Chain A
Amino acid sequence: MISVRSLSKRHGDRAVLVGVTAEVARGETIAIVGPSGGGKSTLLRCLNYLEGFDGGEVEIAGVTLVPGMATAGPVLRRLRARVGMVFQQLNLFPHLTAIDNITLGPRVVRRASHDVALAKARELLAQVGLADRAGAYPHELSGGQQQRIAIARALAQEPEVMLFDEPTSALDPEMRDDVIDVMRGLARNGMTMLVVTHEMQFAHDIASRVWVIDRGTIAEDGPPAQVVDQPRTAVAREFFSRLRRPPP
């Protein structure tokens, strides 16, 4: 489903991604962890071409991405119709109700009829447990509710791959479980997912594979039982030990 080959990217003199190479099969759920500044979010954003890159190639959901592509055009339209994304900062459209946030993509991009888009949106609202908040505006919703609407919004485009960029980091702890439950359901139903996260619970219990990214490359890649419980590299050991330390 996703094939990343020698992906590299620089910000001026600083190498952000250094020859990242990886494969993801359909239905896998990848937890991407690692110290901040290591390039996790950049990798994710390159997969959606929200950021360009300087070298290498990405094949994702049947679309091939290479350096220097136009930031708008048919290739990116195809890409984004097949790859959904959820952001740390929620990014709901504040001028639209929950249901209008969800139907905007189908109506505008896929030219779905109003009724079809609405029916699909109601289904998705139910799926994320917010069937009763269809008419609410984002500022009337809690952070956790907003993030679930954002997931529903991305799903409305019927993507083959979902990218999550720290979806729970901006949320209060008590809100996170609702969001993680939704993501768990997605993983179970066979959605291909890449999730940048600091949630150990997610990496350990839900992910089928864990990538530890450090200094622009995948330092460790394997099933959670191996990467989380018996990390081989120093950076992974250090990272997980710090996460495991109980709160003071």
Chain B
Amino acid sequence: MTRRMVLVIAMLVGLVGCSDSSPDHAGTLAAIRQRGEITWGGDVQGGEPYVYEDPDQPSRIIGFEVDIMDAVARRLGVRARMIQCAWSNLMPSLERGDFDIIANGLEATSERREQLLLSAPYFVYAETLTVRTDSDARSVFDLAGKQVATLNQTYAHDILRMLYGDAVKLYEGNEEPYTDLALGRVDAVLLDNIIADRYGCTPSHPTLKCLPYDVARGSYVIGVRKADPELKQAIDGALAAMRSDGELERILRKAALWDARQVEPPPAEGQAIRPRSVDGEMVLQFFAAAWVTLELSALAFLLAVPVGIALAVARLYGSAPVRHAARLYIELFRGTPVLLQLFVLYYGVASLVNLGPVEAAVLGLGLNYGAYEAEVYRGALLAIPRGQSEAARALGLGPAQTLWHVLLPQGLRLALPPMTNDLVSLLKDSSLVSVITVIELTKRMTIAAVDLRGWLLPGLLCAALYLALSFPLSEIARRLERRLVRDQRPLAL
């Protein structure tokens, strides 16, 4: 148990970073000039138009932020190199020294200014509300009791949270909130106009409309470590020069991002929510998330067991087509990522079957784990001595009776230890369902980590709750095993 805890902590501390270069804060600007290269962190998952893979040449990263950074670097007399990093980890990775600056839709907010030096704005965006064309909502204040959605950890999230608390539905990708809006799974999406224009109010979503007024304005800035004021100054100088000689306008026009907002007086800094502290409410939220995790895992496993039994029996005793179908199912579900299966179930077939996120999560995890259980049960059934089925047949039991009364009870006993493994593993794999907007324990931890500006405390709380869930499960399994498997003596060696 201790070892697992150490592992979890090691992962939390280690994996938030995006590269292993060691931090060297002293004179970053000098170091950049000496290297001839400035590194900046961004996430290609942010997609067009920020930073994305060139459709014509996918090994090349393009986007208006690439152009801006190339121009800034040129004015500093160096080259620019992007370093890929998950967006939500950009700030801790910058602190670790994985790259020199952040330039990826980083919104200027007062709380970010507490942690980072923020450059002058290079782009002014507007928070835009998107609703279905039949909606009569006119502003963010008309959405009480409605399901509002946005991306995790954005300024839009802060705004919505101020208005509607925790009822906000969170997504990780640009496309999915609008897909769900069109499907009626959510009622409104609040996001930057860049995203709303490109993913929401497009010909592919004829039933969506973007409300014309700006819910709020904000600006994208370059984030610099607090220890590097001379670097921030140099970048501000470069940006100011780009603004005055028209290069910034050219770059933004090229990406079709230039609008009147860029020349109006810059917006006031976003008023973000104060960092939270670990309070009773947060602990309650963690417990609620742990309950979601437990509920999902238990229901998914309750589905996986009968699916697994049916598949194992089909593989062992079915006719040739049945055997092959079972084998195909097992290979398909075992051989493809469960993440993908969840996406397909929730988004892919949404036009045919509109599953809720929890239903899709239970179904996806259950069907996936069913494939694993099938092989466990097949192995267990094969491990039963041949004489058992002969004795049953000699008593006159038919095939189904032999299976039900003699083979399955013994097989399930043999399968108990690996089943316990799978259940505990499922408990942790259930964190994958956050991609389909379910807030379970791991997701709660990442949200809390942002709110608290730190990973350690939420990480420990999360680990403790996972342990608190998995340990009793293994204990129940151990007792069940002791009760069911009469003869537990290991074979003598």
Contacts and interface: CB of A to CB of B under 8 A. Distances in A.
A219 to B, nearest CB: 27
A236 B299 CA distance: 66
Contact of A95 (B393, B394, B395, B409): B409
Nearest to A89: B387
B484 A95 contact: yes
A196 B324 CA distance: 41
B390 A108 contact: no
Nearest to B484: A95
B487 A105 contact: no
B395 A104 contact: yes
Nearest to B398: A72
Interface string B221-253: 000000000000000000000000000000000
Interface stretch (B305-313, B368-376, B399-407, B446-454): B399-407
A94 B388 CA distance: 9
A87 B405 contact: no
Interface in B339-359: none
Contacts of B486: 94-95, 137, 139-140
A18 B448 CA distance: 80
A151 B391 CA distance: 11
Contacts of B185: none
Contact of B395 (A89, A137, A153): A153
A90 B385 CA distance: 11
B75 interface: no
Given A80-B395, A105-B397, A139-B486, A50 B410 contact: no
B405 A80 contact: no
B413 A95 contact: yes
Nearest to A105: B395
Contacts of B391: 85, 87, 91-93, 150
A-B pairs with lowest CB-CB distance, top 9: A80-B396, A91-B391, A91-B387, A139-B487, A105-B395, A85-B394, A109-B396, A137-B486, A89-B387
Interface of B: 385, 387-388, 390-399, 401, 405-406, 409-410, 413, 484, 486-487
Interface of A: 48, 50, 72, 77, 80-81, 84-85, 87, 89-95, 104-105, 108-109, 137, 139-140, 150, 153-154, 157
27 contacts: A48-B394, A50-B393, A50-B394, A72-B399, A77-B396, A77-B398, A85-B391, A87-B387, A87-B391, A87-B394, A91-B385, A91-B388, A92-B391, A93-B388, A93-B391, A94-B410, A104-B395, A104-B397, A105-B395, A105-B397, A108-B401, A109-B395, A137-B486, A139-B487, A154-B394, A157-B395, A157-B396
